[in-house]
Amino acid sequence: MQKIIIKTGRTYPALAAQLGDFEDWIERELGDAPGEWRVVDVQRGETLPPVADCAGAVLTGSPAMVSDYEDWSVSTAAWLREAVQGNVPLLGICYGHQLLADALGGQVGYHPQGPEAGVVDIRLLPEAEQDPLLAGLPAAFPAAVIHWQSVTALPPGAVRLAANDFEANHAFRIGSAWGVQFHPEFDTAAMAAYLSHLAPALQASGTTAEVLHQPLRPTPHAAGLLQRFARLLAHQAA
């Protein structure tokens, strides 16, 4: 049975040359041995394995927009629907979170207040207290965010797990799938690099200089979500 990282995009070349790419950051935080996770680059046309051969998957973020419905994204959404029907554990991050929601009957679009960027506080909702992935996390914790689009409506049957004043749907679960709008794989260096690289675009969208130059905080509880997911898969395989 394969554990896979579904690569839905790549970071900017200048950042990748210095820090690596999304899958590198995800593998670092998963904490598993090198090679335990296979990367499938769906944005470049690589084929996902049969759902029956998959023990679990993490979906990366992407500079792409879910609402553009590119062919690779649409075909990945079909695979995700089959994976949820097959009870395969999934964890979608940012774009992956939005793609899961859209694939399963929710709605995704541009946030009316513009992008959310930097390190923000995430609040768990009461439904998270018994959730297999989020239970035991602090009631509020810092996490890295950078997104223009949001899940504007959850899929039917989804459980909302986390929010903040900007983003109503920072985390949800539906069946075997979880989505998180924030980035558990971002460390402080990655978040700082994103704020610097995207400063002109963020300013043009109304982001204040205070946000762009905010003192960044470590995000250990958010990062720990990936190890929690790895442990969940290990428990299921035992």
Q: What is the pLDDT of residues 21-76, one digit of tens each?
A: 999 999 999 987 667 999 999 999 999 999 999 999 999 999 999 999 999 999 99
> What is the rounded distance in angstroms from the CA atom of residue 175 to the CA atom of residue 101?
12
Give the model's pLDDT for residue 237: 72
State the DSSP H helix or E strand holding residue 193, giving kind and residue range, or none if neither.
helix 188-197
Q: Which long-range contacts (CB under 8 A, 24 or more apart) does 124-130 make?
A: 124/161, 124/162, 125/160, 125/161, 125/162, 125/163, 127/159, 127/160, 127/161, 128/161, 128/162, 128/171
pLDDT recorded at residue 227: 95
Interatomic CA distance for residues 130 and 168, integer angstroms: 20
- Where exactly are the structural domains of the chain? 2-237
Q: Which of these, 172, 162, 128, lies nearest to 142 by C-alpha position?
A: 162
Give the pLDDT of residue 34.
Answer: 65
pLDDT of amino acid 33: 66
Q: Return d(Cα 181, Cα 162) in angstroms, integer.
A: 10
Measured distance CA(114)–CA(207) in Å, rounded = 8
Residue 111 pLDDT: 95
| Spatial distance between the Cα atoms of 231 and 103, rounded to a whole number of angstroms | 26
CATH class name, domain 2-237 = alpha beta
Identify the pLDDT of residue 212.
85
User: Per the structure block, which two tokens stand in for 35?
Assistant: 């090679």
Taking the whole predicted model, whether its pTM rises above 0.85 is answered as: yes
Residues taking part in catalysis: 94, 183, 185
- Cα–Cα distance between 208 and 194 in angstroms, integer? 15
Query: Exposed (0-12), middle (13-18) or buried (19+): which is 117, by Cβ within 10 Å?
Result: buried
Q: pLDDT value at position 211?
A: 85
The tens place of each residue's pLDDT in the chain, 238 residues long, gives: 999 999 999 999 999 999 999 999 999 999 876 679 999 999 999 999 999 999 999 999 999 999 999 999 999 999 999 999 999 999 999 999 999 999 999 999 999 999 999 999 999 999 999 999 999 999 999 999 999 999 999 999 999 999 999 999 999 999 999 999 999 999 999 999 999 999 999 999 888 888 888 889 999 999 999 999 999 998 887 6
